[in-house]
Amino acid sequence: MLQLTNLTVAYDDTPVFTDAAVQFDAGKITGIIGPNGAGKSTLIKAMLGLITASAGTATFNGQPLSHMQKQIAYVEQRKDLDLTFPINVFDVVLTGTYGRLGLFKSPGKAEKAAAADALAQVSLSDFTQRQIGNLSGGQLQRVFVARAIVQDANLIILDEPFVGIDLQSETAIMAILRQWRDAGKTIIVVHHDLNKVSHYFDDLVVMNHGIIDYGPVAQVYTAANIEKAFSADLSAVLFEKEAAQ
């Protein structure tokens, strides 16, 4: 279980959110939804220590998150990646073993076998030698999910994993997320569009410059919460449609 207490982040003294308190349960896929600029990625980065929170704590099973870096796998948004970097699919996945190896140790047989196995799980075994610039968006996303598999973490955080990817990749990634869930891991997915929310997630966190609500999807994915986070119009369209189905 991941617990955030009173987390506050500000850019240049303008708070993105203050006193965010939320809980993510193990054995659940939790979605974080909210409009663009709601602070979803910021929340993730603050709890990972990638940006400094001005107040608050993040604990995982009672331990500060900053002490459990080897337990965390983070699949970042891919937009900032250097796709011309001289590295192939296999070697990217292999970097997932670096954290556990620590300094002065190189990946050996066991690590390479783990990377090959992870690539098989995301159906990319035929692409191991491919330079990463020569992949589709969906294939690239699967490469980074494979790296997360190799990390063998207990807390897995994915930022917008379904943006710009094909259906086959989406299905493959969802299958992995469900395997992780069934293994009792804590999975957090930042997600910006409201399609398939109830299909993807068990729990939901609704955000807009702060936590609006969180809990099981059935309780949280409501017209009232969507209206608060997004707009009354969107809420009306979405929930009218659902009522009609």
Partner 1 sequence: MSSLTNFFHALGQYDFLQSALITAIMVGIMSGLIGSFIILRGMSLMGDAISHAVLPGVAVAYMLGINVLLGASVFGILAAMLIGFVAAHSKIKTDTSIGVVFSAFYALGFILISMAESATNLHHILFGNILAVSDSDILTTAIVLALVVLFVVVFYKELLITSFDETFAKTYGLHTQLLHYALMLVLTLVTVSALQTVGIILVVAMLITPAATAFLWTDKLSHMLVMAASFGVIASMVGLYFSYTFNWASGPAIVIVAAAMFAISFLVSPKQGNLFKRK
Per-residue DSSP letter, 88: B
* 8 Å CB contact between 94 and 180: no
> In the complex, what is the shortest distance from the CB of residue 99 to partner 1, in angstroms, rounded to a whole number?
3
CB of 49 or CB of 215, closer to partner 1? 49
Number of residues that bind partner 1 (CB under 8 A): 26
Footprint of partner 1 on 175-234 (CB under 8 A)? none
Residue pointed to by tokens 């220590």: 49
Residue pointed to by tokens 């987390």: 7
Name the 3-class secondary structure at 102. Answer: coil
CB of 156 or CB of 197, closer to partner 1? 156
Give the separation between CA 131 and CA 219, rounded to whole angstroms. 44
Judged by CB under 8 A, the residue of 10, 26, 48, 194 near partner 1 is: 48
CB of 45 or CB of 191, closer to partner 1? 45
* 8 Å CB contact between 210 and 228: no
Judged by CB under 8 A, the residue of 8, 59, 131, 222 near partner 1 is: 131
Strands (E) across 93-210 are located at 155-159, 186-191, 203-207
List residues near partner 1 by CB under 8 A. 48-50, 69-70, 72, 74, 76, 81-82, 85-88, 91-92, 95, 98-99, 101, 103-104, 106-107, 131, 151
